[in-house]
Structure 1
C-alpha cells in the first residue's frame, strides 16, 4: 500500500498560493544511536574535489544535492552520481563511506546532510588503510 505524502491544508483566509511540497526521498527508519544528536551541515566541494577520505559515521545520514554532482559510494554498493535535486542516504555505523567527491571538474558541488550521531563523537571517523585492505572484498567492483 502506498501512502500519499502530499501536503495540503485548507486555508480560507489565504491570499497567496499555497506552498508546494514534493517528496524527493524516503527510506525506512534506520537504527539511530540511543543517545543521538541531529545535525544539519552544508558541504561545498570545489571543482574537481575528491571529497573526504574513506570514513564512517556513528549514525545515519540523509542528504540532498543542492548544486552540481556528487560521486557517492558506500561499502557494498557501486559508486553512483547524485545530481542536483536528488537525495542520498547512508545507514552509518559500521558501513564505510568511500566517496563523496565532486563529479564536476569545472564547477562546485553543494549538498546538505542531516546526520544522527553520538554526542561527543566526531561526525566523520576516518578509516585506516589497513582496515580498507581488510574489507576490500566488501567493496563493489569499480568501473
Structure 2
C-alpha cells in the first residue's frame, strides 16, 4: 500500500487526533422562544469605534446570538437592565417584538468588535429601527436606568 492510498483508519497513515475530545468549550446555551419557519441564518461582524453609541433602538425578526471579540459592549434589551459585556463573553436576544436599546462601545479608548449569528424571518430585514413614537409608547417596558 503506497503513502497516497487510504488506510482503514482514515487519510494516510496518520494517527487520529484526540484533541477534539477537549477542544470544545460551550460559551453559551440558550433556548430561544421561537425560530421563524424558513429562517435565514447569517453571521455578521460588528465593529464600533471608541465611544460609538452603536445601533439606534431596534429589533430583529428572529433570535440573535453573539460573542464579543474585542473591547466592551453596553447591552440593553427591553425589560432588562443595561449591562457591560466584555471580550470573551456572550449575549443573546430573543428577537421578535423585543426592543434592543443598546449595543454601543462602552470604551472611549478602544474599538468594540463582536460577532452575531441571527436567524431572520423570511422576507424580513435582519434589523428594523424603532421610531421615537413607539419608544414612548413602550417606555413602561424598559428597565430602570442607573
Please give the TM-score of this superposition, normalised by the length of structure 2: 0.86
Tell me how far apart the structure 2 counterparts of residues 59 and 72 of structure 1 sit (CA, whole Å).
18
Query: Aligned equivalents of 1:79 and 1:140: distance in 2?
Result: 8
Q: d(CA) in 1 for partners of 2:104 and 2:38?
A: 30
Q: Using the TM superposition, give the Cα deviation of residue 45 of structure 1 relative to its aligned residue in structure 2, in angstroms.
A: 0.7
The alpha-carbon deviation at position 119 of structure 1 amounts to: 2.8
Q: Equivalent of 1:14, from 7, 13, 16?
A: 16
Runs (4 or more) in structure 1 with deviation over 3 Å come to none
**1:101: Cα distance to partner?**
0.3
Q: CA deviation at 1:34?
A: 1.1
Matched position secondary structure for 1:64: strand
CA distance in 2, matches of 1:18, 1:115: 29
- Counterpart of 2:35? 32
Aligned pairs, how many? 132
Q: Deviations over 1:23-75 (max 9, x none)?
A: 11111243011121000000001110100000000000000001110000000
Aligned-pair distance for 1:130?
A: 0.4
Unaligned runs of 5+ in 2: 1-9
Aligned twin of 2:6: none
Question: TM-score, normalised on structure 1?
Answer: 0.87
Decide which moves more: 17-26 or 100-109.
17-26
- Once superposed, what is the RMSD of the aligned Cα atoms? 1.6
Larger radius of gyration: 2
Q: Unaligned stretches of 5+ in structure 1?
A: 1-10
For 2:96, the equivalent position in structure 1 comes to 93
What secondary structure is seen at the aligned counterpart in 1 of 2:75? strand
SS at match of 2:62: coil
